[in-house]
A = this chain, B = another copy of it.
Amino acid sequence: MTMAYAHLVKPDSKTRLDDVDAGSHAGLSEEEAMAKLDKLGERMADLQELLFAAKQNSLLIVLQGRDTSGKDGSIRRMLHYCNVQSSRVASFKEPTELEASHDFLWRVHREVPAKGDVVVFNRSHYEDVLVVRVHKLVPKKLWKARYDQINAFEDTLVSSGTILLKFYLHISKGEQEKRLLAREENPDKAFKLSLSDWKERECWDDYTEAFDDALDKCSTKHAPWYIVPANHKWFRDLAITQAVVDALDPYAKDWHDALKDRGKKEKLEIEAYRASEGIKLPS
């Protein structure tokens, strides 16, 4: 395993977002980071193909972060390395009427990946201890109980073969302002403008507290949270890709062996069929 660029939140470590530099880039230049990312991306593509073909595990990536923190961009980069047929994004916005009439895990459970698949959650069940907590959408007693419920739910997924990684995209308050204003200046991005982004920004510190708690209470050995310095987009993408590759690498040999066995068996059956049907091949 090489150097980690994302900050792993160790269980019960009382890590605070404000202690992690959102502008960090581990001393790398953009050019150096992109060169590393290119190499990692190739490895990622190989690993995803093995995951897909072997069908022994699935990969669930959870992305959380404030408005403009780069969730969309990270997803584009990550899925760029994946087979489109077995990977997809599930976005969780304000619950629909049907979703709201169920428990908070119902809508996310429906979207978890099947064996062989990759799913990226753009926001997730964590919204129910974030926006819900900040805006007091349910009584404190209810959202307080959710951390344990989330841990048990994620444990169920992992026990069934899901590889589960959670990333908090960490931008500074100044960087968010810059990005929001840039949208106003660019007519082609104007459709992304939203008054609610400015309103949510007024609750910056309440969100920090809610994120701190979620990361602290729900980073477990088998479903870890990573804090990703995200002021620099190129470093953000490098850090996420590195963490994903490091998580998948230990499985590669098993997947590969399973596939080789399966291929051998099918080839024997095809040869027997051709012989029995008298099918001739070009020499």
Q: Which chain A residues have a beta carbon within 8 Å of chain B's beta carbons?
A: 53, 72, 75-76, 79-80, 83-85, 88-89, 91, 122, 177, 181, 184, 187, 190-191, 193-195, 198-199, 202, 259-260, 262-264, 266-267, 269-270, 273-274, 277, 279, 281-282
Residue from B122, B199, B263 within 8 A of A193 (CB atoms): B263
* Assembly CA distance A194 to B270 (angstroms): 8
* Assembly CA distance A264 to B184 (angstroms): 9
| 20 pairs from A and B in contact (CB 8 Å cutoff) | A53-B191, A72-B85, A76-B83, A76-B84, A76-B85, A79-B84, A84-B89, A85-B89, A88-B88, A181-B281, A190-B264, A190-B267, A191-B259, A191-B262, A195-B266, A195-B270, A198-B273, A198-B274, A198-B279, A199-B273
Contacts beyond the supplied A85-B91, A194-B266: 16 A-B pairs with Cβ under 8 Å: A72-B85, A75-B84, A76-B84, A79-B84, A84-B89, A177-B281, A177-B282, A190-B260, A190-B266, A190-B267, A193-B267, A193-B270, A195-B266, A198-B273, A198-B279, A202-B277
CB-based nearest B residue for A88: B88
Residue numbers in B under 8 Å from A259 (CB-CB): 190-191
* Assembly CA distance A267 to B264 (angstroms): 62
Residue numbers in B under 8 Å from A281 (CB-CB): 177, 181
Residue numbers in B under 8 Å from A202 (CB-CB): 277
Q: Are B263 and A187 in contact (CB under 8 A)?
A: yes
* Assembly CA distance A71 to B258 (angstroms): 25
